Chain A
Amino acid sequence: MTVIADYAGKSALENVKAAIEAAKQNNEYNAILSFSEERALERAAKVDSGEITGKLAGIPFVAKDNFLAVGTTTTAASHFLEHFTAPLQATAIERLEAEGAICIGKANLDAFAHGGSTENSAFGPTKNAGDQTRVSGGSSGGSAVVTALGIVPFAIGTDTGGSIRQPASFNGVIGVKPTYGTVSRYGVVAMASSTDTIGCFTNSAADAEMIMDIMAGRDTSDMTTLPDFFKPVEVKANQKIGIIKEFMTDDVDEDVRARVSDYVEKLKAAGHTVTEVSMPILRYALAMYYIIVPAEISSNLARYDGVRYGRRADSSNLSELYGKSRDEGFMAENKRRIMIGSYVLSSGFFDAYYLQAQKARTLLINAFNELFDTYDVLVGPVSPTPAFKIGENASDPIKMYLADIMTVPASLAGLPAISVPAGQTSDGLPVGVQLIGQRRSDAQLLALAGSLEGDA
Chain B
Amino acid sequence: MTTAITRDDVLHLAQLSNLQLADDEVESLRSDLTNILDYVTQLSELDTHGVEPTYQVTDLENVTREDVVFEPTVTREQLLETAPDCAQNQIKVPKVL
Q: Which residues 280-326 of A sit at the B interface, judged by CB distance below 8 A?
A: 281, 284, 286-288, 290-291, 298, 302, 305-312, 315-318, 320-324, 326
Closest to A343 in B: B13
Complex: A315 Cα to B48 Cα, angstroms? 47
Contact B17 A363 (CB under 8 A): no
Q: Which residues 4-37 of B sit at the A interface, judged by CB distance below 8 A?
A: 10, 13-14, 16-22, 25, 28-29, 32-33, 35-37
Residues on B with beta carbons closer than 8 Å to the beta carbon of A311: 84
Contact A307 B94 (CB under 8 A): no
Residues on B with beta carbons closer than 8 Å to the beta carbon of A302: 18
A162 smallest CB distance to B (angstroms): 16
Query: Which of the 9-residue segments A59-67, A115-123, A352-360 touches chain B?
Result: A352-360
Is the C-beta of A439 less than 8 angstroms from some C-beta in chain B? yes
A372 smallest CB distance to B (angstroms): 14
**Given known contacts A317-B97, A321-B94, is B37 in contact with A362 (CB within 8 Å)?**
no
Complex: A267 Cα to B44 Cα, angstroms? 38
Contact of B58 among A181, A342, A357, A413 (CB under 8 A): A181
Complex: A398 Cα to B33 Cα, angstroms? 10
Complex: A281 Cα to B39 Cα, angstroms? 16
Contact B35 A220 (CB under 8 A): no
Residues on A with beta carbons closer than 8 Å to the beta carbon of B54: 358-359, 361-362, 365
Contact of A298 among B17, B28, B44, B81 (CB under 8 A): B17
Complex: A81 Cα to B22 Cα, angstroms? 21
Could you tell me the dominant secondary structure of chain A's interface residues?
helix
Contact B74 A363 (CB under 8 A): no
B11 smallest CB distance to A (angstroms): 10
Contact B39 A398 (CB under 8 A): yes
Complex: A85 Cα to B58 Cα, angstroms? 31
Closest to A316 in B: B94
How would residues 361 to 395 of chain A score, 1 for a CB under 8 Å from any chain B CB and 0 otherwise? 11101000000000000000000000000000000
B87 smallest CB distance to A (angstroms): 14
Complex: A412 Cα to B81 Cα, angstroms? 38
Complex: A290 Cα to B41 Cα, angstroms? 10
Complex: A84 Cα to B21 Cα, angstroms? 24
Contact A309 B17 (CB under 8 A): no
Complex: A411 Cα to B24 Cα, angstroms? 35
Closest to B63 in A: A223
Residues on A with beta carbons closer than 8 Å to the beta carbon of B74: 87-88
Complex: A412 Cα to B56 Cα, angstroms? 9
Is the C-beta of A54 less than 8 angstroms from some C-beta in chain B? no
How would residues 64 to 81 of chain B score, 1 for a CB under 8 Å from any chain A CB and 0 otherwise? 010000000111001101
Contact B65 A220 (CB under 8 A): yes
Is the C-beta of B42 less than 8 angstroms from some C-beta in chain A? yes
**Given known contacts A226-B58, A359-B51, is B18 in contact with A340 (CB within 8 Å)?**
no
**Given known contacts A181-B60, A224-B60, A323-B20, is B10 in contact with A339 (CB within 8 Å)?**
yes
Query: Which of the 9-residue segments A3-11, A330-338, A423-431, A446-454 touches chain B?
Result: A330-338
**Given known contacts A327-B21, A439-B59, is B81 in contact with A312 (CB within 8 Å)?**
no
Contact of B73 among A88, A181, A315 (CB under 8 A): A88
Complex: A358 Cα to B78 Cα, angstroms? 39
Is the C-beta of A230 less than 8 angstroms from some C-beta in chain B? no
Residues on B with beta carbons closer than 8 Å to the beta carbon of A84: 82
Other CB < 8 Å A-B pairs besides A317-B97, A336-B32, A401-B36, 20 of them?
A: A88-B73, A224-B63, A226-B60, A281-B46, A288-B43, A290-B39, A307-B93, A309-B82, A315-B94, A323-B19, A327-B19, A327-B22, A339-B10, A339-B33, A353-B43, A358-B55, A361-B53, A362-B48, A365-B57, A414-B57
- Closest 7 A-B residue pairs measured CB to CB? A323-B20, A414-B57, A358-B53, A359-B48, A312-B84, A87-B78, A309-B82
Q: List 22 A-B contacts (CB under 8 A).
A: A87-B81, A181-B59, A194-B57, A223-B60, A287-B39, A298-B17, A302-B18, A307-B93, A308-B83, A310-B84, A311-B84, A312-B84, A327-B20, A335-B25, A336-B32, A342-B13, A355-B53, A359-B48, A360-B51, A361-B54, A412-B57, A413-B57
Residues of A within 8 A of B (CB): 84-85, 87-88, 180-181, 194-195, 220, 223-224, 226, 281, 284, 286-288, 290-291, 298, 302, 305-312, 315-318, 320-324, 326-327, 330, 332, 335-336, 338-344, 346, 352-353, 355-363, 365, 397-398, 401, 412-414, 439
